Amino acid sequence: MKILIATLAAAGMLPLFLMLFAPAANAALDDAKAQELLKNGGCVACHSVDKKVLGPSYKDAAQKRKGEKDAVATLENAVRNGSKGTDGAIPMPPNPRSKISDADLHDLIEWVLTK
Kindly report the CATH number assigned to the domain that includes residue 46. 1.10.760.10
Q: What is the pLDDT of residue 26?
A: 43
CA pair distance 93, 75, nearest whole angstrom = 13
**Is 13 domain-assigned?**
no
**Is 3 domain-assigned?**
no
Specify whether the CB–CB gap between 89 and 81 falls below 8 A. Answer: no
**Is 16 domain-assigned?**
no
Residues spanned by the domain of 90:
28-112
Q: What is the pLDDT of residue 13?
A: 58
Q: What is the pLDDT of residue 74?
A: 96
Q: What is the pLDDT of residue 22?
A: 44
pLDDT tens across the length of the chain (115 residues): 556 454 545 556 555 444 455 444 445 789 999 999 999 999 999 999 999 999 999 999 999 999 999 999 999 999 999 999 988 899 999 999 999 999 999 999 999 999 9
pTM: 0.73
CA pair distance 112, 59, nearest whole angstrom = 7
**Is 42 domain-assigned?**
yes
Q: What is the pLDDT of residue 87?
A: 87
The total of other beta-carbon atoms located within 10 Å of residue 82's CB is 13
Q: How many domains does the chain have?
A: 1
Q: What is the pLDDT of residue 12?
A: 62
Specify whether the CB–CB gap between 76 and 109 falls below 8 A. Answer: yes
Which residues face 92 on adjacent strands? 83
**Is 55 domain-assigned?**
yes
**Is 8 domain-assigned?**
no
